[in-house]
Every structure is written in structure tokens, then in C-alpha cells.
Structure 1
Amino acid sequence: AVINIGADRSAKHFGESLEKYLEVKTFNVTKTVGFSEIQNIANELKTFDRVIVNILGTSNKPKKDFGITDNINLLLSKMDKNKENILTIYTNAYSLYKLKNLDNFSSIMVAYQDSKEAQKAVADAIIGAIKINGKLPVSAGQFIEGDGITIGKAIRIRRNVSPFELGLNPADLKKIDTIALRGIKEKAYPGCRVLAIKSGNVIVDRSYGHQTYENRKKVTNQTVYDLASITKIASTTLSLLQLTDLNKFDPNNNLCDYLPDIADTSDYFNMNLKEILSHTAGLKPWIPFYDYTLVNKTPSSKYYRNFPKDGYSKVADKLYIDHSYADSIYSKILTNPLRDKRNYKYSDLGYYLIYRMFPHMTSLSLEDYVSANFYTPLGLKTIGYHPLKRMNKNLIAPTENDRLFRNQVLRGYVHDPGAAMLGGACGHAGLFSNAYDIATIMQLFLDKGNYAGEQFFNSTTFDFYNTAHFAKDKNRRGVGFDKPVMNPDSGPVCNSASASSFGHSGFTGTLVWADPEKDLVYVFLSNRVYPDAGNRKLIDMNIRTDIQQVLYDAIDKAEHRNS
């Protein structure tokens, strides 16, 4: 919660800046706030873990007590000292003499003025998006000259920044608008999100178009998209990195080490996990599992119900599948003949098997493990499986009008039919996210496991996964991660992406990519499959890679100017 004291002075810049990071409840009161209102606020604050108090509209004049009133001190006395409360004073440090009950706050920030720039900086500092190194220039109250904490490095992505601050010319990024809007005009997608982060600072944050071609709901910075195969890195690979460090998973092992029910006569028994994750294990690309459950192109009552029932998982609106059919899916994979050659061939099938390994490795499903160990600790609200359990449907961009299987427009249900038949979650598909949350995961990868002051996995482990171990066989893939192609003008990314860069694309019209050499994260989210998955204009027009190239060109120009 945020309390702005001095409501006669606007705190909108602080609020707008903080809301780019967090959902907040705001209370605005005057410096003469009455006892009953203070008591009402105190009662409401009991449900919040942390309270930020801003004192605005103050004075630099000692004769006016720096604008600090008895009412302000009464309000401060109502703060629960057992919570991580933060107090910000937008005035002279000597005002600390007049403030009481400061022990109720774990942190106090002196900002000196309540200008737009100061309010934005305070929000960034509180969230950890900028470093802090200021010290009190004078002794005041219980504090002495030189007091102050130092945070020498930003620990979160900074969203309140101008490209100018990084030496970039915004005009060099303007072409992104042209490319993105051309895609909408040509109906490559109804709308999209473009987000780019340079050295931990957001340099591009743009929303284009609408969720559908009916133009009813605009794309915003909170619009959530089906990430499709980005799930492979942002859920499966992410979790395996940590499990490798915990000695619960070893990519050099085989499937039989984690799936005890595989028969030792199966071709899959000794299938190597590093080869699976690098798409060189001889697996077929995919199996249309839903085809086996249709009668006259309609889901069969043998497997499905159109109402909730114990032992059934939700596939889409008014469509539920028998839990036991998951065994049939895995049986079809394990009895599917392998390809004659073990060369590179992109496949989803191995990720079904890895998904099935998670309860054996962790006693948790993949979706529960990745949420508990990454998304929740990172404070990410939108990324995850089963979005309709967590958010309003209107926040989610729809995908296909599925006429082959589910016979409905899919919104909030995973587009991939195989993942849908497993209840909406698998190792290859099922994740949904807004641009900010998936960008945070990519920044975590870029910083080799370190984010917000926590180390989630070891840098050496990440380096192993980000290596193309089968490059001599003309396989560009890392372990889980996609990598730039070896021949220019093809593949998922622009030609300027370095060999150390990594990421993944998604069938629904998504791409995430990180480049250590440029300290750059790029996110493109769209629903190009709406309403028809056969729409290939996004790919044919090279929209994702062209936008990415604009970013590299702008950064190269800035580096040249600054050299």
C-alpha cells in the first residue's frame, strides 16, 4: 500500500512509476488528516505486508516545521513496526528533527524535493532498479552525518528510463513503429507487444493494435499472451538448470534414470537427455494426439465430457478429458518409431517425457515446481500455466478459432492441443505471460541465474546449457535454448545476434531473445494464429527479426558515437 501525505501536491509521478512494477493500493490524505480517517486507514493497512509513506508538499523553512504537522506524526504512529515499511521525505534532511515514530519504518529515504524526476527516482530506488549511494550530509534527529545504506548495483529491471540516458537516440528506434504497424495493416496479427531491455534498462516498451481484428480491446502493457514453445526454456529448461545444481537432474543421463516405468526393451530406455533437449535424439516432430479421440471430427464421449467431473481435466470451455488418457499419450510416444537418422530435427515429444519426469525428481509437477521456485520468489504475477485461474479472461489475447478439435475460439486455454489434453500444462507448451514477466525470466538467464539479489542457479550450469554441443553435426541448438543459425538470413533471429545469444520462438507468434555481448533482452509477443493458425505473414514478412535488427543498429550507432 502507498500513503501519500500532502494530497494538495500531486504524487502521480511516483504512483505511475511504481505501478509499472507492482499493483498498489493508494491512499491520498492531506497534512491535516483527521483522527477518524487515520484510524480507518490503519485498519485497512492490516491486510498489507508493506506500506510506503510519502510526505509531499513540505517546506524547507524551519519556522514552518518543514511542513511536518502533528497529524502526520499521528499517522506515522499507526504504522506496524513488524512490517517492512518505507518512509520517503521530499524535503530538507533537517525535517528528521520533526518526525516521530521513525522506528516504525525499516527504511527512510530523503529525496529533498517532490519533482517529477525525484518521484520517479524514488520509485526506482524502492524497487531496486537503480543503485543507491547517498549519505546524509548533516546530523538530524537520531541520525548522524554520513548515515545511509549503499546498494552499488541495480538488482531489478528499470522501467522508468529514457533511451537518452543510455546514449541511444530515440529516433533510431522509431522504425520499430513502422514495422509493427505494417504487420497490423497486412493482418499478420491484430496486435503485438515489443519490449527491449539494454543493460537492465527498458529502452523500448510499446503496445500496438488490438487483441482481435474486431478492434474491441487494445493491446496494453498488461496484455497476456500464450507463449507456446517459449515454455521449453521459460519453464522446463529454467527448472532443469536449478535441478542440475541440486543434483536431482543430469542432462548426461538417460530417460530410464528418471522414468522407471520405461521398459528396458524400449528404444527410449537409454535415450540421452542432452540429445532430447538439443533435438537430436531421433524423435519425430509431433503426434496429433487429438485425432485419436475424435469421432466424425467431434470429441468422442468415450474420452470427453462437456461438464466438470471427478477424474477429468479441463481442455477448453465445456470440454473435459479423462485423466487416464494421459497414459495413452505417453504410450503413443514411447511406441512411436524413432527416425532412422539421429541428426537435428525439432521435436516437442521429448518435452512430454521430461514433463512426466518431474514428480519423480521433485515430488511436484513442473507447473508447481517452476511457480514455487521461480515465478513466486521473483514476484511475477502473470507468467504461469492455467491463466484463467489467476486473472480476468479479458487480459488474455485469444489464439485460434480451433475448428479441428475444440470447436471454439481459444482464450486463456493453451493453443497446443497436446498440452491441452494433459490439462493445460506440459514441458513444451502451456505458459502464458505478459511482456514484463517473460522479460524478467530472460534477464535472469542473461545474468546467469542472478536476479533481485538472489542466485537461482549457477553460472557454470547456465554456460553448459547455452552451448551448442552438437554444432559439428550442423545443429545450432543448445540444451533447451535455441541459438542463431549458422547461415545468415535464416532462422529465428537477425544476423547481428551474437553466437553467444540465445532464446526461443513460439508458434503463436512470439519470440524472446537475449544477447550477452550487447547486454540486450528482446521480447516480441503477438497472437498471429488468431483466428487462423495458417496465417504465416508474421514469418514471411520477417517482422520479429526486422524489429530486432533495428535494436542492434541503434545500439551500434550509440556505441560508435560514444567511442
Structure 2
Amino acid sequence: MKKIIISFLFFVLCFHLGSAQHELIHALPSKLGLNETYIDQKVDSIMEMGIKNEAFPGAQVLVAKNDTIVFHKVYGFHTYNSIQPVALNDLYDLASVTKITGPLPALMKLVDESKLNLDVPFSTYWKPWRNQKDKKDLTLREILAHQAGLEPYIVFLQKVMRKGKLKSRFVQQSPSKKFKGQVYDTLYINHRFVRKMDRIINRSEVSDEKKYVYSGLTFLIFPRLIEQITGADYQTYLQDNFYGPLGCHTLGYLPSTKHYANAIVPTEVDTLFRKTLVKGWVHDENASLMGGVSGNAGLFGTADDLAKIMLFYQNYGAANGQQLISEATVKEFTTVQYPENENYRGLGFDKPLLNNAELPLEEAYPSPLASPESFGHSGFTGTFVWADPVKKLTFIFLSNRVYPNRDHRKLYSLDIRQALQDVFYKAGGIQPKN
């Protein structure tokens, strides 16, 4: 308790001195009207149950009320051998949370600047689709809302392997002029392979039925589209326009090349592709084959960094006295686009189920107490972020549920994330809207 109080006073002092403009403010839950005892008991119980049932070897939960961190606690270990405990500043493979923290803020800014239009054909900007009969008329709005009928996922790994072995023309064990993109410690991808990926995407089928089908295909394209429109390197653009101004110190790609002091949480023991425990390199195979920098996956970050970017969204584009993206644009992207088609998604953002408030916890997504205006995203590796601009509650859950393999799915079947999020709504006496 003394440590928490000292930490809180330190952050308050720094804030008033103006020396921690980009740092998060911390306070005890009770200072924000939340039942501290209830939170501690419930969260500890849920997390211990998750670890006991091997939903994950370890995880952490961070919650902000208003713009203040009221809870940040770690549980368990990096792996089931219980050697390295989870730490508050650990780096996690964010998986599909990358979609809303990597390309999406850039796309929002470009829409803001009228450099992208949501309602003209995507082929207006992406030339390879102009001659694709089934793709040339698809709009960016349809694509971002997963309403375009695109294939959900293409396993590009099949193209670089034959009979369980890597094809040397695509992957080699040392870098060269042609093999620059790093896939893992001693694996490098041919720079031409991305062209092959593009050709396969171009030829992929598009459903005539326009309904909600989640697809990450265009997120493989978005970083290059952003570079094409801005004339800037994708990673540099994100750093200059978002991560730097928000004070996200570790959020980025390829953490193994950056020599952070932070420990990196491992993901899966890969028996097919990399033949080892994946740690410090992106877990998603498609992002890996793009050299680790992609729009569908590849970002790593800490809970603090994710809190900063989600609070930025929760405040509709405002952070540290700056309006980085207009309020109107953020509201547009975080609004359900096609409810008449039973599609509950926003533009890039995940949203509550359309009848979420009426559902029991085990059927709801996320907590049934989350407001209809709330939004976020989940990641395959066991990550989940959510912001509620009405209830002023930001929720971050980070785990490596795919350790030692992706068959560990109890994070989902035990409704752990919804249950945890529910605790913080109930702790403040927040009730769903009638």
C-alpha cells in the first residue's frame, strides 16, 4: 500500500511540475469512486482461475478511469515453468491489436486530411485492384467494416514450404541484397516474396454476399498504401505523428532489433516454421513473411503504451493538449457502420454485439455493461484493449495464451476478459443504459 501511495504522489508531483507531460497519472481506485476491495478480490480470483486452468501462464490487467490509471497488476509467469514472473513493463506481441494501433490511426489521419475517401473505390488509391473485376469497386468503408466479402485469411506460409522444409528461393539463413527482411534470428525472406503475396491477394475470391466476414487481407497492404500517400516510411510516420506525441516509448515493430531493457514475453513453440520458441519476433506467420512489419500484426508494446493510445482514442483524438485526429473522424471510425446487415463493427475497430446489454456475461462481447459507443480490438496471442468514452473506462488485458501452443483456448471458453472488464464497471456502480 505504501508503494502505491508513494507512486501516486510521485506521478502527481511530476504532472504538476510539467516534467511528465506524456506519462500516465496513477491513483488508487477509491479516489475515482471505485470499490477497491471488490476489485482486488474479483480480479485476483479470475486471474488465478485462468492460470490454474492454463488459459495463460501469466498476464496483466491495466484499467484507467477517466484519464487516470486505477489498476495495473501482473499475475503468473512468462511460461509454465514458473521461472520468470510477469512484470509491469513487459513487452507483448500485440497480434491483431496492431490493426488499430498501427495502420488505423494513419488511415484516420489521411481521411482527416482528405487524402483518403472512405466511399470511393479502394482501387482509386491501390492501382493493382483497378483491373480486378471483383475488387475494383470495393470501398475503404466496406473493407474496414469487414463488409466487403474478402477472404478472411490466406496461409502464405504454404508458399514458402515444401514437405515441411523451407524453400531456399524464398527463405535463407543469412541476409543478403535479396534477402533483407528478417523473419527470425537466422531466417531472412526474399524481398520479392511480397509481390507474390500481392498477386495471391489480387486473385483471391470475393463473396457476392455482402455481410460481416472478418478479413485481415488489406491490412497487409495498408502500410505500403500509407507510404505511397504520405511519401514517408511507414514506421517513421507512425512514430512522428502518433507514438512520439503520445509518449509511447516502446510501441513499435521488431523489438529484438532495438535492445530494450524490457523483457519480451514469448508466444508459441513453433514446430512448423521457425522450429523453436518464438520470442521477440512476430508470432503471426503472414506478418513474419513481410519481415515483421505489417498492418495485420507485428507491433509489440507495454500495457502503459497501449493505455496511452487507447486514452487518445477515448478522448476522440485529443492527447496532451493536441488534437492529433479530429473528433469527427474518430467518432466516424468508432461508429457501427452496417447495423442493418447485423454487422456490429466500426471502421477497423471492434464494437459490442448489437444487443450486448441484453445478454448474460457468457454470451456478451465485451462486458454487457460496456456502452454501445465503446470500441477496441483483440489479438490472437491473447491481447485485448477496449475504450469506453461514455463510461470513461479503458481496459487493457495482455497475455500469451498461445504458449506453448495455440490450442490453449480457455481464455475464450472461460470468458475471462469479459468477466474482468465487468468487475470495473460494477465496482463503480455503473449500470447499463435502459
TM-score by length of 2: 0.93
| Alignment-derived partner of residue 149 in structure 2 | 282
| Alignment-derived partner of residue 81 in structure 2 | 214
Alignment of structure 1 residues 250-269 onto 2, 5 Å: 250-269=117-136
| Alignment-derived partner of residue 99 in structure 1 | none
| Alignment-derived partner of residue 123 in structure 1 | 14
Query: What per-residue deviation string (whole Å, max 9, x for no partner) do you get for residues 140-181 of structure 1?
Result: xxxxxxxxxxxxxxx766433111211222112021011011
Query: What per-residue deviation string (whole Å, max 9, x for no partner) do you get for residues 396-421 of structure 1?
Result: 10111111222121111111100110
2:60 corresponds to 1:169: no
Alignment of structure 1 residues 41-56 onto 2, 5 Å: none
2:242 corresponds to 1:369: no
- How many Å apart are 1:393 and its aligned residue? 7.9
- The 2-side partners of 1:199 and 1:260 are apart by 43
Q: 2:22·2:247 contact (CA, 8 Å) conserved in 1?
A: no
| Alignment-derived partner of residue 339 in structure 1 | 207
Q: Which amino acid aligns with 1:275?
A: E
Moved over 6 A (4+): 12-16
Q: 2:369·2:431 contact (CA, 8 Å) conserved in 1?
A: no
- How many Å apart are 1:340 and its aligned residue? 3.2
Structure 1 pair 318–394 and aligned structure 2 pair: CA distance change class (3 A): farther
Q: Aligned-residue CA RMSD in angstroms?
A: 2.2
- How many Å apart are 1:127 and its aligned residue? 4.8
Q: Pick the aligned partner of 2:53 from 155, 176, 186.
A: 186
Q: Pick the aligned partner of 1:433 from 290, 301, 307.
A: 301
| Alignment-derived partner of residue 420 in structure 2 | 547
Q: Pick the aligned partner of 1:538 from 411, 414, 419.
A: 411
Instruction: Give secondary structure in 1 for the equivalent of 2:246.
Output: coil
TM-score by length of 1: 0.72
| Alignment-derived partner of residue 310 in structure 1 | 177
Q: 1:169·1:558 contact (CA, 8 Å) conserved in 2?
A: no
- Unpaired runs of 5+ in structure 2? none
Structure 1 pair 364–177 and aligned structure 2 pair: CA distance change class (3 A): same
- How many Å apart are 1:527 and its aligned residue? 0.4
Q: Pick the aligned partner of 1:455 from 298, 317, 323.
A: 323
- The 2-side partners of 1:317 and 1:280 are apart by 38
- The 2-side partners of 1:125 and 1:212 are apart by 40
Count of equivalent residues: 424
Q: 1:14·1:122 contact (CA, 8 Å) conserved in 2?
A: no
Q: 1:492·1:505 contact (CA, 8 Å) conserved in 2?
A: no
- How many Å apart are 1:262 and its aligned residue? 3.1
Q: Which amino acid aligns with 1:432?
A: F
Q: Pick the aligned partner of 1:520 from 393, 410, 434.
A: 393
Q: 2:339·2:354 contact (CA, 8 Å) conserved in 1?
A: no
Structure 1 pair 490–356 and aligned structure 2 pair: CA distance change class (3 A): farther
Query: What per-residue deviation string (whole Å, max 9, x for no partner) do you get for residues 502-528 of structure 1?
Result: 000111001100111210100000000
| Alignment-derived partner of residue 258 in structure 2 | 390
- How many Å apart are 1:377 and its aligned residue? 2.2
Q: 2:132·2:202 contact (CA, 8 Å) conserved in 1?
A: no
Query: What per-residue deviation string (whole Å, max 9, x for no partner) do you get for residues 280-304 of structure 1?
Result: 1011110000111101112111211
Structure 1 pair 455–15 and aligned structure 2 pair: CA distance change class (3 A): same
Structure 1 pair 523–381 and aligned structure 2 pair: CA distance change class (3 A): same
| Alignment-derived partner of residue 26 in structure 2 | 160
Q: Pick the aligned partner of 2:402 from 515, 529, 539.
A: 529
Instruction: Give secondary structure in 2 for the equivalent of 1:385.
Output: coil
| Alignment-derived partner of residue 500 in structure 1 | 373
Q: Pick the aligned partner of 1:301 from 156, 168, 171.
A: 168
Q: Which amino acid aligns with 1:269?
A: K
Q: Which amino acid aligns with 2:31?
A: E
Q: 1:501·1:513 contact (CA, 8 Å) conserved in 2?
A: yes
- How many Å apart are 1:254 and its aligned residue? 1.8
Structure 1 pair 344–257 and aligned structure 2 pair: CA distance change class (3 A): same
- How many Å apart are 1:390 and its aligned residue? 2.0
- The 2-side partners of 1:344 and 1:557 are apart by 31
> Higher RCO, 1 or 2 (CA under 8 Å, sep at least 6)?
2
- Unpaired runs of 5+ in structure 1? 1-11, 21-116, 130-154
- How many Å apart are 1:264 and its aligned residue? 2.4
Structure 1 pair 121–233 and aligned structure 2 pair: CA distance change class (3 A): closer
- The 2-side partners of 1:384 and 1:160 are apart by 24
Out of 541-550 and 332-341, give the one that drifted further. 332-341
Q: Which amino acid aligns with 1:414?
A: V
Out of 496-505 and 360-369, give the one that drifted further. 360-369
Instruction: Give secondary structure in 1 for the equivalent of 2:397.
Output: strand
- The 2-side partners of 1:156 and 1:491 are apart by 34
- The 2-side partners of 1:267 and 1:530 are apart by 39
Structure 1 pair 519–265 and aligned structure 2 pair: CA distance change class (3 A): closer
- The 1-side partners of 2:5 and 2:402 are apart by 36
Structure 1 pair 491–275 and aligned structure 2 pair: CA distance change class (3 A): farther
Structure 1 pair 229–206 and aligned structure 2 pair: CA distance change class (3 A): same
- The 1-side partners of 2:130 and 2:258 are apart by 39
| Alignment-derived partner of residue 244 in structure 1 | 111
| Alignment-derived partner of residue 52 in structure 1 | none
- The 1-side partners of 2:401 and 2:338 are apart by 32
| Alignment-derived partner of residue 73 in structure 1 | none
- How many Å apart are 1:367 and its aligned residue? 2.5
Q: Pick the aligned partner of 1:272 from 139, 149, 154.
A: 139
Q: 1:393·1:411 contact (CA, 8 Å) conserved in 2?
A: no
Q: Which amino acid aligns with 2:78?
A: Q
- The 2-side partners of 1:254 and 1:447 are apart by 30
- The 2-side partners of 1:342 and 1:557 are apart by 37
Instruction: Give secondary structure in 2 for the equivalent of 1:538.
Output: helix
Q: Which has the greater radius of gyration? A: 1
